[in-house]
Structure 1
């Protein structure tokens, strides 16, 4: 049975929030703020926050900077996961992944289908790992950010969640490179 194992201590994770948008600022970035509010309410630490344009090199540069930062364990982005010409977030994430977490996008769309029906096929939400850092890309609406956090990331980024979670794997994400974790 899945759920929180109260016999384990909570382990806060350092999470960076990236908004991909040609028009948002920190003052009007509701989706990014939704993620910040949820991750801090859960007890995690906001490691960094940025807004970049819908531009593959800009997204890749920001991802690589955070992947190389030992104070960032997870990056969650919002925006740019649709199918229009300017939606390039999944393509940027693919350029930095070492391993893709196929199930992340699949589960996101499954949860989203229950809420918005077939409109979920327009989402290209994605997840993966690079340099010992988890990377997740969510659509650019506050509702999608709530769904992705509440339905997947809240539990998977909680060390107490059973039967397994992403946090307990963190020490092993770099073992192929260093023989130890980050």
Structure 2
């Protein structure tokens, strides 16, 4: 896999206001680098569909082929990461989203409550929503990293 560009977007009201320090974003960025991608510093945005959609659009406009979000996938009223993601992706990858939940469920029963999406954009980028905990990011990247070379190759028309 070439050194594709990736972006990590942390979705958290508290972190965006400086009331809490995010640890999931730097972890995700490091794991993406370990998987061979080029990643800058995580972007932190408040919860909400509009802030997520805007951050995703900016990451895609900058050339990112992989955009990972962390946070905002639960069921609280402010958890709207999937709603912000749905309008940006062209085709969902439900099997990937389910594999991420299944891996999380092997560690904590409440992982099935994650509403995170995975999908590809019309422009050939991958967008994946992960829960906001460091454990969820670590477990999710364990599922995602082995798939990235094939998936990114497929997005540019590679052979099966």
TM-score for both structures, normalised by structure 1:
0.78
State which drifts further: 79-88 or 17-26.
17-26
1:16 is aligned to 2:4: no
Superposed, 1:89-168 pairs within 5 Å as 89-117=81-109, 119-130=110-121, 131-150=123-142, 152-157=143-148, 159=149, 165-168=150-153
Q: 2:71 touches 2:133 (CA, 8 Å); kept in 1?
A: yes
Separation in 2, partners of 1:144, 1:78 = 9
Shift of 1:78: 0.1
Unmatched tracts of structure 1, length 5 or more:
1-9, 160-164, 174-182
Q: CA RMSD, aligned part only?
A: 1.9
Q: Which runs of structure 1 show a deviation greater than 6 angstroms over 4 or more consecutive aligned residues?
A: none
Superposed, 1:61-80 pairs within 5 Å as 61-70=54-63, 72-80=64-72
Unmatched tracts of structure 2, length 5 or more:
none
Shift of 1:91: 0.6
Separation in 2, partners of 1:73, 1:148 = 18
Greater radius of gyration (CA): 1
TM-score for both structures, normalised by structure 2:
0.88
Separation in 2, partners of 1:75, 1:23 = 21
Q: 1:104 touches 1:125 (CA, 8 Å); kept in 2?
A: no
Separation in 1, partners of 2:133, 2:94 = 22
